[in-house]
């Protein structure tokens, strides 16, 4: 089984960290390696350009891939989004020089503009939909510098924080599309020889996402306080309660969001809970 992941760019490190958190660890390789064996039997990582991953997966050269949904749309690849990931969030925006007296898309209508972009297909569809007259300047590198060089008037490019745009004297005036990283597969993955292993891997991947930001809480509670403590606790279904031997006391266990832990501890302590233990959770398989 092959999993294609970015070999450079903003998605490379979070994609590798996610793969490792799932339990797949690269066994060898350096920045020049294209195919890396892993701790999973007969599973290797294919290190390729982020924008090439949709086409590689569509062709079946890799069973799964991690890439941005902006690249999927740009490639027009016939692939399926299997797991939405919690990183790689970004927006593709139309940005114009800050010096322009332009604040909205309507202010551009009627103008002939040159737009530099590496998202040629996305930009073409967007301009047609919005009724904007523009000549696209297809590039493969940094778009932000193109207006400064005089190669274009404005750009359509990815924006995470907007800092890079501001440094180059640009301001976003419209969002072309929202994007995020995903695990993708081709439409025939369920019929292939690796379908069972892929399905298991997808289950573990989803469990890894579900486990992020959650904590396991254990506590001991005397019988007289049990009802009050349980009423103070969140749970995915219901708290787990086990009687402690020889005493009118109980062990209570539940799962909670990390951000809620301070409030939960305050409530259960005031309700009589003791010996509270909080543990990290790696995965939650539903």
pTM: 0.86
User: Mean pLDDT throughout 260-275?
Assistant: 94
Quick: pLDDT tens for 116-161. 999 999 999 999 999 888 899 999 889 999 999 999 999 999 997 8
Three-class SS of the chain? CEEEEECCCCCHHHHHHHHHHHCCCECCCCCCCCEEEECCCCCEEEEECHHHHHHHHHCCCCCEEEEEHHHHHHHCCCEEEEEECCCCCEEEEEEEECCCCCCCHHHHCCCCEEEEECCHHHHHHHHHHHCCCEEEEECCCCCCCHHHHCCCCEEEEEECCCHHHHHCCEEEEEEEEEECEEEEEECCHHHCCCHHHHHHHHHHHHHHHHHCCEEEEEEEEEHHHHHHHHHCCCCCCCCEEEECCCCCEEEEEEEEEHHHHHHHHHHHHHHCCEEEEEEECCCCCC
Among the ranges given (130-139, 184-193, 201-210), the one the predictor scored with the smallest mean pLDDT: 184-193
Quick one: CATH architecture of 90-179?
Answer: 3-Layer(aba) Sandwich (3.40)
Q: Where are the domains of the chain?
A: 2-87+180-210, 90-179, 213-280
Q: Of the CATH numbers 3.10.580.10, 3.40.120.10, 3.40.50.12280, 3.30.70.120, which one belongs to the domain with range 213-280?
A: 3.30.70.120
């Amino acid at each position: 089984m092959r999993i294609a992941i970015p070999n450079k760019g903003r998605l490379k490190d979070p994609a590798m960290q996610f793969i490792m958190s799932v339990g797949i660890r690269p066994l060898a390789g350096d920045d020049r390696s294209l195919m890396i064996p892993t701790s999973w039997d007969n599973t290797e990582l294919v290190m390729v350009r982020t924008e090439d991953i949709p086409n590689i997966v569509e062709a079946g050269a890799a069973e799964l891939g991690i890439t941005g949904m902006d690249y999927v749309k740009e490639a027009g690849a016939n692939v399926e989004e299997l797991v939405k990931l919690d990183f790689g969030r970004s927006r593709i925006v139309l940005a114009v020089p800050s010096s322009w007296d332009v604040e909205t898309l309507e202010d551009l209508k009627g103008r002939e503009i040159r737009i530099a972009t590496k998202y040629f297909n996305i930009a073409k569809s967007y301009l047609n939909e919005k009724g904007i007259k523009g000549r696209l300047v297809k590039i493969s590198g940094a778009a932000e510098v193109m207006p400064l060089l005089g190669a274009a008037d404005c750009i359509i490019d990815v924006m995470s924080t907007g800092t890079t745009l501001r440094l180059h004297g640009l301001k976003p005036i419209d969002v072309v599309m929202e994007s995020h990283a995903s695990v993708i597969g081709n439409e025939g993955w369920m019929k292939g020889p690796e379908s069972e292993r892929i399905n298991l891997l997808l289950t573990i991947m989803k469990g890894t996402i579900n486990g992020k930001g959650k904590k396991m809480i254990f506590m001991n509670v005397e019988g007289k306080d049990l009802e009050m403590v349980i009423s103070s606790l969140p749970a995915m279904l219901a708290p787990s309660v086990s009687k402690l031997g020889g005493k009118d006391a109980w062990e209570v266990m539940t799962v909670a969001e990390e951000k809620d832990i301070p409030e939960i501890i305050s409530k259960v302590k005031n309700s009589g809970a003791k010996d509270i233990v909080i543990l990290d959770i790696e995965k939650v398989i539903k």
